[in-house]
Amino acid sequence: MRSFDISHVPNVYKTILISGLVLSSTIIFYYVIHPKSPTNSFVVSRIEKTLSQSTFTDTPTNISHLVFGIVGSEGAWHHRKGYGEAWWQPNVTRGYLYLDIPPTVDILPWSLTSPPYRVSEDLTKLINEINPAVPILPRVLHAILEIFREEDHEGFRWLVMGDDDTIFFVDNMVDVLAKYDHTKYYYIGSPSECLNSNFRFSFNMGFGGAGFALSYPLVKAFANNVEDCLKRYSHLVTGDIIEMSCIADFGVNLSPQKGLHQIDLRGDISGLLSSHPKTPLMSLHHLDVVDPIFPNMDAINSIHHLMKAANIYQSRLLQQTICYNRKHNWSISVSWGYSVHIYEKIMPRSLLQLPIETFQPWAANPNPPFYMFNTRLPSNDQCESPHVFFFDSIEKMSDNLILTTYYRRSSRELPPCVSSSHSADYVTHIYVYSSVTKRIEINRCECCDHTYAEGAKNAVLKFRECMPDEIMA
C-alpha cells in the first residue's frame, strides 16, 4: 500500500511517478484515458477458494439475480461494442454500460443487442473537493452507487463489475456465484497473471478487467460510503486498488476465483487457453490486445466463434482433459471448445497441464519471473511439439452427448517422433464426445477413450469418468 501513497511527493515527481505507473499497469484507469491503447491484466490465482457448504436456504441463484455494471467510455464503445454484444443477452442479462458522455449519432439509435447505457453522473464538484491523484477514477467507483440507485432491488443478489472489453461467461458465473451465500459479504475476483502487476498493486485485489462480483450486502455498504471511500483513497492510482482498499475497510477480503482472466499478456495466448484449470471459465479480457484466439479470424469473430460452444454448453468450456492412446504412444490434451493437442509421446499430466509459453509478458522490459504460474517453452523437438487443432463446430446429440469437432491448423512441419513410430500427421479432424453433466465441483479430471485407425484422417475421443485407480502409468 505504501508504494502507492504519493501524497507527500512534490507535484513534478508525482506526475512522473503516475506516468510510470500508467505505462506499466492496470486497468480501468487507463483504458478510460487511452481507450485504444492496450490495458492490462488475467491470471490463475494459485489459491483456489474452498467453498464452504451452502447453508443458506434461498431459491437457487439464476441469471436474473446478477446485475452487471460495465464502465466504459463513449470513445471506446465504437470499437468495443462487438465484445459487449458477444456475451450480453438482451432482455435477460440485467445491468448497464456507463459512458462518460452521451453517445454520438453514429452509435444511435442504441443497439438493442448492446447492454443498455447510462451516462455517468457529473462528479465535478466531488472531484474538486477531493482532488484525486487520477481525476477519472471517481467515475469508475461511483458507478457502483449509480447502479445501486438505478436498479430495482428485487432479486438483486450480486453485482458483477467489468470493463467494456471484458467478455463474461454468464452461465458459468451463475453456477459459481450460486455456491456462495449472497446474503453474506463476498468480494470475488482474481489477481492478474502478471506477477509484477500483483506485486505492485496487490495479490489480494480483484483485477477490474477480469471482472469481480460483490454480494448484495457489500454492494449496499459500498454504495452508501462511496464518497468517503474516494476521499480516503484519493491518492491511489487505479480503480481496482481503491475498491479493494474500501472493501478491506468493511472487513472483507478477496475470495480468489480461478476462471476470471485479466489477460495481462501479449501475443498468442493459445498456450494458456489450451491448459485451463478444471474450473468454470468466467471471463476473458484484453482480447483486442492479444492476437486473435483462433487462426484466420479477427478478434471479434474469434470471440463469437468461441461463443458458439459457450452458448450451447458452457460448463466445460476450455477445461483441459488429458487422454492417452497407448497403442499409438500418443498423449492428447483437449481444451474443450477451443483446441486439441496431440503429442507423439506419452507425457505426464503434470507436464501437459503447464501452459506452453506462446505468449509474452505484459510489460515491455520485465524482469523474470513473469507469470503467476509455471509454463513450458515451445519446443521444436518432434516428440514434444504438439500437432495443433482448433475448435470447429458443436452439435447436441441425442442421449445427453455433445459433439465438438476440431480441425488441424496447419502441418507441424516436423518429422514423426522416432521412438513412438506412430505419426499423427494424417489426422485432420478430431471428434470429441462429452456428456452434458455440469462440471462445477470438480475434484478429479475426466479420462477418455481414444479410437484411431492407423493412417485415418479422423480421430475420435469419448470422455468418461476415470476409473478409481486409473493413472497414466
Tell me which residues touch ligand NAG (CB under 6 A): 59, 62-64, 90-91, 112, 155, 329, 419-422
| Residue type for position 402 | I
As measured in angstroms, the least distance from the Cβ of 226 to ligand NAG is 28
Which lies closer to ligand NAG via its Cβ, residue 117 or residue 371?
117
Shortest Cβ contact with ligand NAG: which residue?
Answer: 419
Contacts of 108 (CB under 8 A, 6+ apart): none
C-alpha cell at 123: 462528479
Residue with smaller CB distance to ligand NAG, 153 or 444: 153
Which runs of E-coded beta strand occur in 65-182? 66-71, 94-99, 117-119, 158-163, 166-168
In whole angstroms, the minimum distance from the beta carbon of 115 to ligand NAG comes to 12
Q: Yes or no: say if 75 and 297 are a contact pair by the CB < 8 Å rule.
A: no
Alpha-carbon distance 318 to 274, whole Å? 7
SS3 118: strand
3-state SS record for 154-202: CCCCEEEEEECCEEECHHHHHHHHCCCCCCCCCEEECCCCEHHHHHHCC
Beta carbon nearer to ligand NAG, 155 or 267: 155
- Of 65 and 286, nearer to ligand NAG (C-beta) is 65
Q: Least separation, in Å, of the C-beta of 102 and ligand NAG?
A: 21
Chain centre distance of CA 284: 3
* Cβ-based nearer residue to ligand NAG, 63 or 397: 63
Using the minimum distance from each CB to ligand NAG, give the nearer residue, 137 or 178: 178
CB of 171 to ligand NAG, least distance (A): 11
CB of 88 to ligand NAG, least distance (A): 10
29 vs 88 by CB, closer to ligand NAG: 88
Nearest approach, Cβ of residue 159 and ligand NAG (Å)? 17
Asked if 322 contacts 301 with a C-beta cutoff of 8 angstroms, the reply is: no
* Torsion sign over Cα 82, 265, 141, 73: negative
Rounded to a whole number of angstroms, the minimum distance from the CB of residue 63 to ligand NAG is 5
Q: List all residues 6 or more positions away from 82 whose beta carbon is below 8 Å from its beta carbon.
A: 300, 303, 304
